[in-house]
Amino acid sequence: MSQMSRIKTARAAKYFLLALSFPVIFGCSRTVQKLEEIRDRVVEPNQHVRPVSATDNLPLGNPSGASQDLANRNNYLITRNAYSLSYNNDRGTANWVAWKITADDLGEALPRPDFRPDPDLPFGFRKVLPSDYSGSGFDRGHMSASADRFGDSERNEQTFFMTNIVPQTKDLNQFPWQKFESYTRTLVRKGYDVYAIAGILGDKGKIKKRVTVPATCWKILYIVPRGGDPSVSGSAKVIAVEMPNDNGIAHERWIEYKTSVRDLERKTGYDFFSSLPVPEQDRLETVVE
């Protein structure tokens, strides 16, 4: 079947599902459940795939060994211009998201795009929708920050794909997490390039039985002088944080949540900075900046 035929078939399926949805208005809960099951299996083919290498966003290594093997549903690698991520189908969120921030990536605020399902999720993967968060009490929290991509509208839109979103409390998302994002951009404006990776830990239950709420959110910054080679780690600095996904932390400073990369490795089972020599890994991963 040709690409155009697949696109037409997928669109026809979507219109068919839309027609089926009318009984939902009158309270047919069984139909709702069936449509949600089908929705997870119907993914319109992406017509805008770009050959971006994962190493562009992961020059220090792939911490979980994520791959594009379709059997690897809970550690599935998605790579695009804005970032690379490991998707966890059971959780309905990323395990981690990695990206680089340079001065060219920053700019004036852009019009806010709509949140949308990820068009690159393979057929059969869980397709989380913005509405899955509605009424949950949780923010749609960015892993790769929108403002880190104000320099390019296309990359900024990619930060609103739901695979880059995790459930965060308002107090986390809008206060210490946001302040750490802002501090990161301050470093970039002061003459540094930053390689960031952010992710989740733990399980505080599910939203609508579809999206797992993390217990904590973590983030690691690998900071080098502007234009510097990330593999030359002698001048690099590292900052790592792990923040609780709780209410009541709006007045906490992000620096209260500093940790070491080695501690995050112990908790996640990941291997960060694996492309660096072991002595350099030991030096950078054990310090709390």
Query: Do 130 and 140 meet the contact criterion of CB atoms below 8 Å apart?
Result: yes
pLDDT at 53: 58
- Residues 151-203: pLDDT tens digits? 999 999 999 999 999 999 999 999 999 999 999 999 999 999 999 999 999 99
Q: Classify the C-alpha dihedral 255-276-265-71 as positive or negative.
A: positive
The two tokens of residue 90 are 């059971």
The two tokens of residue 155 are 């990359």
To 10 degrees, what angle do helices 261-268 and 278-286 make?
100
DSSP H helical ranges for the chain? 3-20, 29-39, 153-158, 170-173, 176-189, 261-268, 278-286
Q: Classify the C-alpha dihedral 102-103-109-111 as positive or negative.
A: negative
pLDDT at 23: 44
- Residues 224-272: pLDDT tens digits? 999 999 998 889 999 999 999 999 999 999 999 999 999 999 999 999 9
| Range 48-58 average pLDDT | 62
Q: Coil, strand or helix: which one is 244?
A: strand
Measured between alpha carbons, how far is residue 261 from residues 31, 165, 197, 228, 242 in Å?
47, 22, 11, 21, 10
d(C-alpha 46, C-alpha 215), whole Å? 33
Please determine, looking at this structure, whether the domain spanning 54-286 carries the CATH number 3.40.570.10: yes
pLDDT at 20: 45
- Residues 88-131: pLDDT tens digits? 999 999 999 999 999 999 999 999 999 999 999 999 999 999 99
Active site residue 142: yes
d(C-alpha 95, C-alpha 201), whole Å? 8
The two tokens of residue 202 are 């733990």
Of 80, 126, 127, 142, the active-site residue reads 142
Amino acid letter, 145: A
CA neighbours closer than 13 Å in the CB half-sphere of residue 27: 0
Domain ranges of the chain: 1-45, 54-286
Nearest residue to 7 (alpha-carbon basis) of 42, 34, 52: 42
pLDDT value at 1 more than 60? no
pLDDT value at 18 more than 90? no
Query: Do 186 and 179 meet the contact criterion of CB atoms below 8 Å apart?
Result: no
d(C-alpha 160, C-alpha 283), whole Å? 35
pLDDT at 286: 96
pLDDT value at 24 more than 80? no
